[in-house]
Structure 1
Amino acid sequence: MQSFNLAMKKPAWVSSVLETKAVAAKGVDGRHGPNYFRGDCIHTAFGDLSPWFFVDLLGQYTIHNVTIYNRGDCCVCKVRSFNLALKKPAWMSRSEEIPANGVAANGVDGSHDPDYFRGDCSHTKIGDMSPWFVVDLLGQYTIHNVTIYNRGDCCGYRLHDFVIEVYIRNPSRCPSAAFSLCKNYTGTFGSFENVVCDAPVFGRFVRLWKPRVINESDVLNFCELEVYGVKTDCQRFRFPMTSATRLVSTAIISSTALSRVSCVQQCMLSGACVGVNYNSGTRECQLLLRPEPRDTVSIDPNWVYYGNDMC
């Protein structure tokens, strides 16, 4: 089934127009430029108290999702909507013993190839009676839908009766972490489907869990998982503190900070940081960019950790 941008260069109109360079056609011209003054955006007139935008798709379609690129040069918090899971850290239950062509990373590599034997699918271990898959989005987002591409060479029936959960804290390092339910999917999954959350959910970690298996061979396997949602630049969230602890990760940026607060501020201002380690003795500030499942934890009274990868 082919999926593409149905609105591209189709007839469009708005309730009012501020000036000629802000006409409705700018909203469906295929350009993602965020600068209004370069003619990239639409703009209704000041005083329009009920503004709207329409596009005619010139056909009848089943619509799954709408991607919007907001103005970025001023005036609003910029909204981004794209596949948040692409090439992000991912891991599975009992995944350390499975062949390389079934690793978790295959489930977020961007390939929709449905053939497991070409190395494009993820596959939990046979005998795992409560299989799950987790992807770390490396940021906190409001999530609206999850698109899944099933295995197609065989065994697609294995993807059934699963739950999509969204966590703020890492569920693998924090077994008691609370979750928000995106969807409780019942029945057997098809070749691919856009699964819309029952309501928008907020978090960083997305877990696909199959709580009921039929037998030992009823593994969790699929070929791609895509997560769609938005993150605004003005969104605020806090980092919980874990004392006497350091997350030992290779993807860090080290600097000096006069206090814990200034270290956390460096992280939030960087736009690419999901936690920090801070040493109050040396004043070393480590910005954590991409924690991985294999990262270890060091117990050290001189360090303190801020983030959602540990309890």
Structure 2
Amino acid sequence: MLKYVGVWINLCILRLDGKLSSNLAFGKPAAMSTVYNSISTPARAVDGNHRTGLFFSLCATSKYGDQEPWWMVDLRGYFHIHHIIITNGADPYFAAQGLHSFTIDVFTKNPIGCALATPVQCYNRTDPMGRGETVQFQCLSPVIGRFVRIKKWRMTNILDKLVLCEVQIFSTNAIDCAPLRFFHRILGARLNSTNVIISDVDDVMHCASRCGDGDCLAFNYNQNSQQCQLISTSAFNDSKTMTSSWDYYGMDFC
């Protein structure tokens, strides 16, 4: 059984400079509850192509019958989410089942790997978006998080689906703060990632410091060999191994 031990959070007095980032979601890893076909993949919503396409061929689309469809992107960093821009599908055949009744939620933990992950709601939309319409949704206040999920909470009929042709995410820049890092310690576990940098260190604090100095998001630490594995680009399909010699520090599972 995984055991949660502690939380390290980088805290600071935050001031926002009012300037917005570039699109944080572009090219980042994305996942969906179900995928309509091999063309309408989750990545379609973050490929920078704003065209809506015939039969949603250029859009991320869920399957028929998915009664709680969701789409999520890993921003591979922790940001103060300011607003999200969403482009709806335009194909007339599916127009009646367009984007409606959905929430935009932000997580610090990966809800796929951690069922206990708690979202902070950025926005709740009830009425439908227009066919091919692009709308900006602004959070009531900047929400700190790494994972952004769009989820439908009501389906109108069996033909209803979640369709996202493009999702853009922007943050408000923070000053007087070091880059945010969130590490939860999981005893006896290791994240198996293909993107690992191995570093020899003196102790776990040295490993954490190495992670904090770069673009690292998580790390594995072996207390016996003092080996430090820095993980900068974890993926939704990364697996975990239960092993007594390793501990995992990060937010990809709990």
Distance (Å, rounded) in 1 between the aligned partners of 2:222 and 2:159: 48
Provide the TM-score with structure 1 as the length reference. 0.71
Structure 1 residue 208 and structure 2 residue 208: aligned?
Answer: no
Considering only aligned residues, what root-mean-square deviation do their CA atoms show, in Å?
1.8
Q: For residue 268 of structure 1, what is the aligned residue in structure 2? A: 212
User: What is the total number of aligned residue pairs between the two structures?
Assistant: 232
Greater per-residue strand proportion: 2
Structure 1 contact 140–231 (Cα < 8 Å) conserved: no
SS of residue paired to 2:159 = coil
Q: Which consecutive segments of 4 or more residues in structure 1 shift more than 3 A?
A: 116-119, 230-233, 235-238
> Which ranges in structure 2 are unaligned for 5 or more consecutive residues?
1-16
Distance (Å, rounded) in 1 between the aligned partners of 2:201 and 2:79: 28
SS of residue paired to 1:171 = coil
Give 1:162's match in structure 2, choosing from 96, 99, 102: 102
Structure 1 contact 116–223 (Cα < 8 Å) conserved: no
Structure 2 contact 85–134 (Cα < 8 Å) conserved: yes
The higher radius of gyration belongs to 1
Structure 1 residue 298 and structure 2 residue 241: aligned?
Answer: yes
What is the deviation of 1:178? Answer: 1.1
Give 1:257's match in structure 2, choosing from 188, 194, 201: 201
The 5 Å alignment of 1:40-189 reads: 68=19, 81-95=21-35, 98-116=36-54, 119-154=57-92, 155-157=94-96, 158-189=98-129
Cα–Cα, structure 1 residues 253 and 82, in superposed 2: closer, same or farther, change >3 Å?
Answer: same
Structure 2 contact 56–163 (Cα < 8 Å) conserved: no
Structure 1 residue 220 and structure 2 residue 162: aligned?
Answer: yes
SS of residue paired to 2:45 = helix
The 5 Å alignment of 1:234-245 reads: 234-245=178-189
1:106 is matched by which residue type in structure 2? R
Distance (Å, rounded) in 2 between the aligned partners of 1:94 and 1:238: 29
Distance (Å, rounded) in 1 between the aligned partners of 2:88 and 2:79: 25
Distance (Å, rounded) in 2 between the aligned partners of 1:240 and 1:116: 44
Deviations 1:116-146 (A, max 9, x none): 5584210111110000001011111111100
What is the deviation of 1:82? Answer: 1.3
Cα–Cα, structure 1 residues 156 and 202, in superposed 2: closer, same or farther, change >3 Å?
Answer: farther
Distance (Å, rounded) in 1 between the aligned partners of 2:54 and 2:237: 25
The 5 Å alignment of 1:268-287 reads: 268-270=212-214, 272-287=215-230
Q: For residue 76 of structure 1, what is the aligned residue in structure 2? A: none
Provide the TM-score with structure 2 as the length reference. 0.86
Where relative contact order (Cα < 8 A, 6+ residues apart) is larger, the structure is: 2
Distance (Å, rounded) in 2 between the aligned partners of 1:250 and 1:156: 40
What is the deviation of 1:303? Answer: 0.7
Identity, in percent, stands at: 35
Structure 1 residue 310 and structure 2 residue 250: aligned?
Answer: no
